[in-house]
């Protein structure tokens, strides 16, 4: 068998096991992951690795599949992801469920594709706050399920870096977490009432799905179905809905929300996303390049000559994955390597800024955001992030201008189009949320 055939065989088997259609056009990413496993097991070739996956060469096939699945899953997540979802959960969904269950005093909640547990724990925090003193008299069951054993181990540990806590203020961090060291927070015991277990969501479509996967009042399955083919994603959405109690709620990720409506709408998911990434035409009201934009300038010259393959192959996905795993040093290295290779990629500068912020590098972050905006003046998320940096430095007038630009850019897009680098949030939701922020800032002035 040729190397290409072996690769096709492994990739096909992987897609069947995980449902991750996603890897059909992410060959380079998958090749890199396979290379890591071949190296880790000190094997001579990919063909030898294929034998390992079949239980040959003295290895247990299931153990190796799980290792590989851990490597290929993308666990990007953070606490209180999607402010609009958490506003709805706090203001209406959970109070409604609590009222509905005032008699039996029990709630069953499922976070499937829970990654490092941030989503399930965010729900635990909100429920505990909503129930207050009554909490002890309720039976609250929250289950976090994920295919990745590595993600589940992190979830059980409940230790997080600044990247996973990026939406929390310092005050909130100290209410919900204890600080272990300057870079690590651990969730307080009071919010740790979540059970984690390995689950493959595809089992919902098997002839005999696990018996316990039913009778939920709330299911969160956010940013998981994006990796599946549209027909599988639609079938899974239906199956999830069938697992809800009467009056229960299913929350999907922003980019997946159309699946709830009509399968026909779900099909162009990816195309819609890609279209939305097209730079917006320049508008007269967009700000001119900022006078102090520190561009062009050589970036990370030390890295331009780096030939080692992982860095050279750095992609935005890998930058995000490293940051998500709490490995900020590597995330920074990867973002710098990506910038060295593609200096005109505004998104790379944007992520570079986000990573700098984790280490309190406000100056660096501001410069990186200005570079991103120099390259793409229509980058609403970068304007918004710049506004937050400026606010934290008490430069409110500049921050307000940046917020205004972010709102106008979003209003210029169709309300239901996803914002580029906006984690699936639509332009309408983003514009409204930023407008509320601006209003708040103006009224506080
Ligand atoms: C991008 S994260 C989403 C985390 C969280 N739900 C959120 O929205 O912030 C996707 C998670 O889905 C998990 N996942 C992928 N395929 C899965 C499958 N077939 N069954 C269960 N979990 C899966 C991945 O391991 C990863 O942790």
Residues 114 and 171 in one domain: yes
Residue 146 lies in a domain: yes
Q: Is the shortest distance between the CB of 81 and ligand 1 below 6 Å?
A: yes
Residues 87 and 197 in one domain: yes
Residue 166 lies in a domain: yes
Residues 238 and 314 in one domain: no
Q: Is 136 exposed, middle or buried (CB count within 10 Å of its CB: 0-12, 13-18, 19+)?
A: exposed
Provide the token pair at 150: 């590595």
Residues 366 and 391 in one domain: no
CA distance 381 to 369: 10
- Read off the CATH number of the domain in which 118 is found: 3.40.50.150
Q: Is the shortest distance between the CB of 199 and ligand 1 below 6 Å?
A: yes
- Owning domain of residue 366: 289-371
Ligand 1 centroid to residue 317 C-alpha, Å? 15
Residue 230 lies in a domain: yes
From the centroid of its chain, how far is CA 40? Answer: 27
Write the DSSP symbol of residue 136.
Answer: G
Close Cβ partners of 11 (under 8 Å, ≥ 6 residues apart): 23, 24, 27, 30
- Residue 296, preceding bond cis, omega within 30 degrees? yes
340 neighbors 300 (Cβ within 8 angstroms): yes
Last residue of a domain, one of 39, 72, 105: 72
Residue 8 lies in a domain: yes
Q: What angle do CA 251, 185, 386 make, to 5 degrees?
A: 70
Ligand 1 centroid to residue 75 C-alpha, Å? 6
Close Cβ partners of 300 (under 8 Å, ≥ 6 residues apart): 336, 337, 339, 340
The structure's pTM equals: 0.72
Q: Which of 181, 188, 187, 224 is nearest to 204 (CA)?
A: 224
Residues 105 and 206 in one domain: yes
Residues 387 and 367 in one domain: no
Ligand 1 nearest atom to the CA of residue 81, by list position: 9
Q: Which of 125, 181, 121 is nearest to 156 (CA)?
A: 121
Residues 283 and 298 in one domain: no
Ligand 1 centroid to residue 255 C-alpha, Å? 14
**3-state SS class at 185:** strand
Residues 60 and 191 in one domain: no
* Residue-by-residue pLDDT tens, the chain, 445 positions: 888 999 999 999 998 888 888 777 778 888 988 999 999 999 999 999 999 999 999 899 999 999 998 888 877 889 999 888 898 899 999 999 999 999 999 999 999 999 999 999 999 999 999 999 999 999 999 999 999 999 999 999 999 988 899 888 888 899 999 999 888 999 999 999 999 999 999 999 999 889 899 999 999 999 899 888 888 899 999 999 999 999 999 999 877 766 554 333 332 222 222 222 333 222 222 232 332 333 323 233 233 233 334 556 678 888 887 777 777 888 889 999 999 999 999 999 999 998 888 777 889 999 999 999 999 999 999 999 999 889 888 899 999 999 999 999 999 999 988 888 887 788 998 898 889 889 888 887 6
Number of structural domains, the chain?
4
Residues 117 and 209 in one domain: yes
Residues 138 and 244 in one domain: yes
Smallest CA separation from ligand 1 atom 8, residue: 222
**3-state SS class at 412:** coil
Residues 255 and 297 in one domain: no
Residues 36 and 141 in one domain: no
């Amino acid at each position: 068998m040729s190397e290409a055939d072996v690769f096709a065989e492994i990739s096909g088997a992987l897609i069947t096991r995980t449902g991750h259609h996603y890897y059909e056009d992410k060959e380079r990413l998958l090749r890199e992951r396979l290379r890591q496993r071949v190296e880790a097991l000190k094997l001579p070739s990919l063909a030898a690795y294929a034998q390992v996956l079949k239980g040959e060469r003295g290895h247990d096939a299931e153990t190796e599949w799980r290792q590989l699945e851990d490597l290929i899953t993308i666990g990007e997540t953070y606490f209180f992801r999607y402010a609009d979802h958490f506003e709805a959960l706090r203001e209406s969904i959970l109070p409604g469920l609590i009222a509905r269950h005032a008699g039996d005093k029990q709630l069953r909640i499922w976070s499937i594709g829970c990654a490092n547990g941030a989503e399930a724990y965010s729900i635990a925090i909100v429920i505990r706050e909503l129930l207050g003193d009554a909490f002890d008299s309720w039976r609250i069951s929250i289950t976090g399920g994920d295919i990745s054993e590595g993600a589940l181990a992190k979830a059980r540990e409940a230790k997080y870096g600044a990247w996973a806590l990026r939406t929390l203020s310092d005050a909130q961090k100290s209410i919900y977490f204890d600080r272990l060291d300057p870079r690590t927070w651990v969730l307080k015991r009071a919010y740790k009432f979540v059970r984690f277990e390995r689950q493959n969501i595809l089992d919902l479509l098997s002839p005999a799905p696990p018996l316990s996967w039913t009778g939920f009042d709330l299911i969160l399955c956010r940013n998981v179905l994006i990796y599946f083919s549209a027909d599988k994603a639609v079938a899974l959405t239906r199956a999830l809905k069938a697992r809800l109690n009467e009056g229960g709620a299913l929350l999907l990720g922003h980019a997946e929300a159309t699946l709830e409506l009509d399968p026909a709408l779900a099909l162009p998911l990816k195309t819609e996303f890609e279209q939305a990434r097209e730079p917006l035409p320049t508008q007269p009201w967009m700000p001119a390049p900022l006078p102090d934009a520190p561009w062009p300038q050589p970036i990370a010259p030390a890295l331009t000559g780096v030939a080692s393959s992982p860095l050279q192959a750095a992609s935005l996905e890998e930058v995000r994955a490293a940051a998500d795993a709490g490995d900020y040093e590597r995330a920074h290295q990867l973002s710098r390597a990506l910038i060295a290779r593609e200096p005109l990629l505004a998104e790379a500068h944007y992520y570079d800024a986000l990573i700098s912020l984790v280490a309190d590098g406000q100056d660096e972050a501001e410069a990186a955001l200005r570079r991103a905006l120099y390259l793409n003046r229509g980058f609403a998320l970068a304007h918004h992030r710049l506004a937050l940096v400026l606010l934290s430095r008490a430069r409110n007038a500049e921050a307000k201008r940046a917020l205004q630009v972010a709102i106008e850019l979003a209003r210029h897009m169709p309300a239901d189009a996803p914002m580029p680098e906006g984690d699936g949030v639509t332009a309408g939701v983003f514009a409204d949320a930023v407008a509320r922020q601006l209003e708040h800032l103006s009224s506080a002035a």
